[in-house]
Structure 1
């Protein structure tokens, strides 16, 4: 059995009613699943670590002292084993998280919270490089859209691509229902690798090309 801890990252009002609203998956869906994951963790003896991000008081988002930087009631209404305050994307950077996990003999972290492509992804990679296994709750996380000099991407595109990449090497990506079932059964979630992921994509492309060629004859 994996020795898990559920890491609930930055479930703060800024993402729900503030200046950085989560768009995909629907934030009400992800909030409900975050609550369900925390409840399941409590039931099965999985410690919950709550992470909160702060920026300087003058910042446009997550300003220290503002109501929008506070944790959402989904998190504050439930028990936690440990609290981490951070100022960088990774929940490990400049915090005591790594030491706490080691002290509690944790070998697998489970990620819920926001955002898929920023603090979640940074924490996932940091964990893998530190030798931890990772499980990522795809419907208890979420993304926002971006547009800059490199182009534009919707929240759905960002969430989908980041989770596909995670499953290829960095994490077992699964829904909250699947994760709760894994807690109850003791079975480890399915993992994948870069080579197999790439081979499937190449085979799918070849099949699609063959079908298109056949249809044009």
Structure 2
């Protein structure tokens, strides 16, 4: 059995009613699944680490001291084993998270929270490079749309593409129900690799062209 910790990243009011609204999946769905994951972790003895992001008080988002930077009640009202404050995307960068996980013999982290393509993705890759196994809860996370000089992408596109890439190498991507089931049965989640993911896509493209 893996020795897991559930890492709940940046579930703050900014994403629910502030200037950076989660659009996909629906934020109310992801919040409900975050709550379910935290409750399941408590039932199964999986420690929960809550991560909170802060920016300077003058910043347009996550301003220290603002109500929008506060943890959303879904997370703030639930127990946790450890708390991490950060100012960079990865929950490992400039924090004691790695030391805490090591001290508690954690070898697998499960990530929920926001945003899929920013703090979640950065934390996933940081963890993999540190030798940890990673699980990602696809319906307990979420994305926002972007438009800049490189182009435009919807929240759904960003969330889908990032999770496909995660599953190809970096994490086992699971629905919350699947993760709770794994806690109950001990069955390891399905993992994949770059080569197999690529070959399936090539085969599908080849078949569609016939």
Question: Structures share a fold, TM > 0.5?
Answer: yes
> Could you list the per-position Cα deviations for residues 184-203 of structure 1 after superposition, in whole angstroms to 9, with x for gaps in the alignment?
00011000000000000000
Residues in 2 aligned to 1:76 and 1:90: alpha-carbon distance in whole angstroms: 20
In 1, distance between residues paired with 2:90 and 2:72? 20
* Cα distance in 1, alignment partners of residues 170 and 108 from structure 2: 12
- In structure 2, stretches of 5+ residues that fail to align are none
Matched position secondary structure for 1:40 = helix
**Equivalent in the alignment of 1:131:** 131
Question: 2:182 maps to what in 1?
Answer: 182
Give how far 1:41 is off: 0.2
Shift of 1:121: 0.1
Q: Does 1:71 align with 2:36?
A: no
1: CA distance, partners of 2:6 / 2:21:
23
**Which residue matches 1:2?**
2
Work out whether 1:206 is the aligned partner of 2:187. no
SS at match of 1:152: strand
Structure 1 residue ranges, 4+ long, deviating more than 6 angstroms after superposition? none
Deviation, 1:77, is: 1.0
Residue 103 of structure 1 corresponds to 103
Correspondence 1:120 to 2:120: yes
- Distance in 2, matches of 1:25 and 1:75, equals 18
Pairwise CA distance, 1:17: 0.2
Output the CA distance in 2 between the equivalents of 1:74 and 1:81.
Answer: 16
State the SS of the aligned residue for 1:92.
coil
Which residues in structure 2 correspond to 1:166-181 (within 5 Å)?
166-181=166-181
TM-score by length of 2: 1.00
Shift of 1:141: 0.2
Matches of residues 30-109 of structure 1 in structure 2 within 5 Å?
30-109=30-109
- Residue 163 of structure 2: aligned partner: 163
1:152-206 deviations in Å (ceiling 9; x for gaps): 0000000000000000000000100000000000011000000000000000000
C-alpha distance in structure 2 between counterparts of 1:12 and 1:74, whole Å: 9
Which whole-Å deviations, capped at 9, do the CAs of 1:118-162 have from their partners, x for residues lacking one? 000000000000000000000000000000000000000000000
Q: Distance in 1 between matches of 2:172 and 2:70?
A: 29
- Unaligned segments of structure 1, at least 5 residues: 211-217
Instruction: Work out the CA distance in 2 between the residues paired with 1:65 and 1:77.
Output: 19
Q: State the alpha-carbon separation in 2 of the partners of residues 196 and 184 from structure 1.
A: 29
1:98-125 Cα deviation digits (max 9, x unpaired): 0000000000000000000000000000
Q: In the comparison of the two structures, how many residue pairs are matched?
A: 210
